[in-house]
């Protein structure tokens, strides 16, 4: 049986946080199940959150009218993405399972994780206009959202002060590149 691989994309600054404990438990549990586990600690790696032309090695296709998505797709095809992006894409390709571990910040993912999503899951690599969502490139990979809220369960109910957690997470759950 082939070894399964998991990638944990971890976004929390505090090494002693509940998120860190959840990450560590996931590493232990997956390792016991025979997974090879990679962890990308975005804060420890000082992962750049902003998507810029610096993500591309070499000349831009249209430097006068920079369109990030278009330029990234061309750079991905040509193997000209920055080293940090190429490394993360390699991990995603290897992974059978991806776990996103993070605290909910202002009803969304932390900026550093949003930057990982924007910069790593590029057009061509993670999706195309013809292949997305349930027919996407990574449709056979599994993803888990593991998050903390800093609030009680009742706060994230349909009638709670923050609203239904499923509506807050809809962009991550319903339109995911993964199953």
Mean pLDDT within 88-110: 94
Task: Evaluate whether residue 126 is within a structural domain.
Answer: yes
Handedness of CA 80, 82, 85, 88 (dihedral sign): positive
Domain residues for 165?
5-173
- Count of structural domains within the chain: 1
Give the residue numbers annotated as catalytic, written as ranges. 150, 156, 162
Determine which helix (DSSP H) or strand (DSSP E) holds 40, and give its type and residue range: strand 36-41
CATH of the domain at 149: 3.40.50.360
Give the global pTM: 0.90
User: pLDDT by residue (tens digit) across 6-54?
Assistant: 999 999 999 999 999 999 999 999 999 999 999 999 999 999 999 999 9
**Which residues, 6 or more positions from 143, have their beta carbon under 8 angstroms from its beta carbon?**
97, 98, 99, 100, 176, 177, 178, 179
Task: Evaluate whether residue 91 is within a structural domain.
Answer: yes
User: pLDDT by residue (tens digit) across 137-176?
Assistant: 888 889 999 999 988 888 888 898 888 888 788 777 765 6
Task: Evaluate whether residue 16 is within a structural domain.
Answer: yes
Instruction: With beta carbons less than 8 A apart as the criterion, state whether 117 and 48 touch.
Output: no
């Amino acid at each position: 049986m082939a070894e399964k691989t998991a990638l944990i994309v971890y976004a929390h600054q505090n090494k002693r946080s509940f998120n860190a404990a959840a990450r560590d438990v996931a590493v232990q549990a997956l390792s016991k199940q025979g997974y090879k586990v990679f962890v990308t600690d975005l804060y420890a790696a000082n992962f750049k959150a902003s998507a810029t032309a610096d993500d591309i090695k070499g000349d831009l296709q249209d430097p006068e009218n920079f369109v990030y998505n278009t330029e990234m797709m061309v750079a991905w095809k040509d193997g000209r993405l920055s080293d940090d992006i190429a490394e993360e894409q390699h991990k995603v390709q290897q992974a059978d399972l991806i776990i996103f571990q993070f605290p909910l910040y202002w009803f969304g993912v932390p900026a550093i994780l949003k930057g990982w999503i924007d910069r790593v899951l590029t057009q061509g690599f993670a999706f195309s206009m013809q292949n997305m969502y349930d027919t996407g490139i990574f449709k056979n990979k599994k993803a888990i959202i593991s998050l903390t809220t800093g609030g009680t369960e009742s706060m994230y109910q349909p009638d709670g002060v923050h609203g239904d957690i499923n509506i807050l997470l809809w962009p991550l759950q319903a339109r995911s590149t993964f199953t």
